[in-house]
Amino acid sequence: MTASGNFDLERITTLLEGLEETIIFKLIDRAQFRHNPVVYLPGRSGFTGAARQSLFSLRLRFQEEMDARFGRFCVAEERPFCSRLPRPRRKVHLPPTGLCIEDINAVNLSAKIMPAYLGLVPLLCRKGDDANYGSSVEHDVYALQAIARRIHYGALYVAESKFLRDKRLYTRLMRAKDAGGLLALLTRPDIEDRIVERIRAKVCSAQARVNRTSRHVVDPDVVLGFYRDCIIPLTKEGEVKYLLNRTPDPL
């Protein structure tokens, strides 16, 4: 496939839907453990030599250091949460993305995804402490990475795709650095409503046959609300960032 095929809107929509299913599976899996608020408290990790970090932040850093060595962040839509990560130890051969941006980290929403996710956890999980600290932070990291991938993939590819379909209109707003105008142009409330309703159906069906004694069933409205109030707005914020940082020629 040529890079231009990356911007076929139907292909992007299908990929986004796959990422959405992954998010749902990972949130359901996090919710089998209680909130376990202690894992988010600095200095309470029980880790030697980590007086100021939480177990959660340590796990995220260890995971991202490993992932960085495996080349994860060579992929455009994989933007890390941590800084000062090691270089890849692996030669990653990637086809050209066709994205037109010099510094891909200009579209890094991680600093906003993090507090949004931490606000989601107490709504997603049962209250309290079940001592499953290691498992909780492990699943937090998997869910966070899936959410970040969805947001950054949407931000980059949807923005470029929409730009290519209406270059003149977008270019005018981009030159004027009109973030509000770009946001309005990118927004499609009918599609957002459709996504949100689809989420509800998927969260319900994914849990239809689970054993409700062993597993906390996730409230579909919680996932739906997170999509509506966090994932979709942050994706659009990323789209605006991409367009305002877009270079005229493909990398």
Question: Which positions lie near a copy of itself, rule CB under 8 A?
Answer: 14-15, 17-18, 21-22, 25-26, 28-29, 32, 45-49, 55, 58-59, 62-63, 66-67, 69-72, 75, 89-95, 131, 134, 138, 142, 198, 201-202, 205-206, 208-211, 213-215
Q: Supply φ then ψ for residue 184, to 5 degrees.
A: -65, -40
Residue number with CB closer to a copy of itself (47 or 114): 47
Residue number with CB closer to a copy of itself (202 or 241): 202
CB of 207 to a copy of itself, least distance (A): 8
CB of 205 to a copy of itself, least distance (A): 4
Residue number with CB closer to a copy of itself (91 or 175): 91
Residue number with CB closer to a copy of itself (71 or 181): 71
Q: How many CB atoms lie within 10 A of CB 21?
A: 13
Residue number with CB closer to a copy of itself (131 or 176): 131
CB of 185 to a copy of itself, least distance (A): 26
Interaxial angle between packed helices 9-30 and 189-206, expressed in degrees from 0 to 180 and rounded to the nearest 10:
40
Measured between alpha carbons, how far is 26 from 7 in angstroms, rounded to an integer? 27
Measured between alpha carbons, how far is 131 from 38 in angstroms, rounded to an integer? 9
Measured between alpha carbons, how far is 199 from 224 in angstroms, rounded to an integer? 6
- The two structure tokens encoding residue 6: 């990356």
CB of 21 to a copy of itself, least distance (A): 5
Measured between alpha carbons, how far is 235 from 107 in angstroms, rounded to an integer? 10
User: By the 8 A CB rule, do 9 and 161 touch?
Assistant: yes
